[in-house]
Amino acid sequence: MNFIEELKWRGMIHDIMPGTEEQLAKEMTTAYVGIDPTADSLHIGHLVSVMMLIHFQRCGHRPVVLVGGATGMIGDPSGKSQERNLLDEATLRHNQECLKKQLSHFLDFESKEANAAVMVNNYDWMKEFSFLSFIRDIGKHLTVNYMMSKDSVKKRLSAESSAGMSFTEFTYQLVQGTDFLHLYQALNCKLQMGGSDQWGNITTGTELIRRKLGGEAYALTCPLITKADGGKFGKTEQGNVWLDKKLTSPYKFYQFWLNTSDEDAEKYIKIFTLLERSEIETLIEQHKQAPHERKLQRKLAREITIMAHSEEDYNTAVEASEMLFGNATTESLKRLDEETFLSVFEGVPTFEVDKNMLKAGVPLSSLTVEHSKVFPSKGELRRLVQGGGLSINKEKINNPDEVITAEHLINGKYLLIQKGKKSYNIILAV
């Protein structure tokens, strides 16, 4: 499999330095991608770079993930209008361990082959630098004119920018260039990859290697992912879509991909899955014939959810998705963990009641009218029951005075009350 060809048809190449393809054809090559350890989880904005590393390893090359421990203490100006909050070492180390665990879903760090994935932290070599040694050994090789020519710098120094740029941030490209230089020397790393906004920083690294060592190194960037409607990819009303299930449940993760537009799904299925070209082309054609079936979105959501989480998490997410619209049962409802249950029924009106009352048993009419405001009156409750329109935990209720006990509770806490087809309330026992 040819790495460059693979990325080209998937629409994953923005810029590539001349000679890169020849280098990859010549020998097993080491390449790295930098990831900021600003949180203890990746989010889907990181996934394009991660997918590049997956393809790189699948093509027989060695992928390196560089955790920017030192650069996380500085901040990268690329694409940002303000400086970021800086982190302490203990937080950085914790974040690094969490990221490696997540990346193990995508990359093989344990392989006995020569192209086993590697994770490094630039803090490990940057901490040895003194300011004087840095400006002597690194700074002298690149002119201010060269550094000023980078778009990321120009943007922040332009008349339109009111924020300006600190010296700390101005030196960022030197720090990133030092990383490339170090990995070139330590791991024979000849290629750096990243988003298109990183081109300036990456080429600074190739230039530093050329001027200081007379070596050849290469750069490859992928396009920044956009949405067809102009909105920012990976952002929802709740913020980032995370890979940590504690921050974004697999259900919500699955839903994000399932709800992509037709145009975006056609683009994303090439970028975020490992499906073969022929299968993707067939899926796109099938989707065009029957877009209402949303085959593209379903396949995309399936592949990426299994890759990032597991097949079990995917199956749970599908089952949970059917809760609101399908023919779910009490058993399937009880199989949901609390997090998924709350994700599915987010925003549903919730009423708190005393759990001790349920332990003793309480008639449904009292529970939903007197102890909560699910119904304004017992008369309205009775009319709904008589019409066959009331379910508790997906089981139809025939008696408005049925005794409800703690045994009915989902996850020992919740009662799901369904009025008609789509109106829900939750009673929370505390």
Answer whether 257's CB lies under 8 Å from 302's CB.
Answer: no
Annotated active-site residue 232? The verdict is yes
Instruction: Indicate which residue of 29, 171, 176, 255 is catalytic.
Output: 176
Residue with tokens 């008589």: 386
Annotated active-site residue 197? The verdict is yes
Instruction: Determine the 3-state secondary structure of 189 from DSSP.
Output: strand
Q: Which of these, 222, 189, 219, 154, lies nearest to 10 by C-alpha position?
A: 222
Give residue 401's Cα distance to chain centre: 47
Hey, CA dihedral for 367, 368, 373, 379, is it positive or negative?
Answer: negative
Instruction: Indicate which residue of 14, 43, 355, 413 is catalytic.
Output: 43
Annotated active-site residue 405? The verdict is no
**Contacts for 195 with CB less than 8 Å, ≥ 6 apart:** 48, 49, 221, 222, 223, 224
Instruction: Indicate which residue of 14, 15, 23, 38 is catalytic.
Output: 38
Provide the 8-state DSSP code for 373. -
Instruction: Determine the 3-state secondary structure of 355 from DSSP.
Output: helix
Instruction: Indicate which residue of 235, 294, 378, 394 is catalytic.
Output: 235
Annotated active-site residue 143? The verdict is no
Q: How many angstroms separate the first and last alpha carbons of the chain? A: 58
Annotated active-site residue 141? The verdict is no
Annotated active-site residue 244? The verdict is no
Instruction: Indicate which residue of 232, 277, 359, 396 is catalytic.
Output: 232
Give residue 385's Cα distance to chain centre: 44
Tell me the two tokens of residue 275: 């499906």
Instruction: Indicate which residue of 23, 102, 236, 330 is catalytic.
Output: 236
Instruction: Indicate which residue of 84, 141, 378, 382 is catalytic.
Output: 84
Instruction: Determine the 3-state secondary structure of 62 from DSSP.
Output: strand
Annotated active-site residue 137? The verdict is no
Annotated active-site residue 140? The verdict is no
306 φ, ψ (degrees, to nearest 5) = -65, -40
Catalytic residues: 38, 43, 46, 80, 84, 176, 197, 232, 235-236
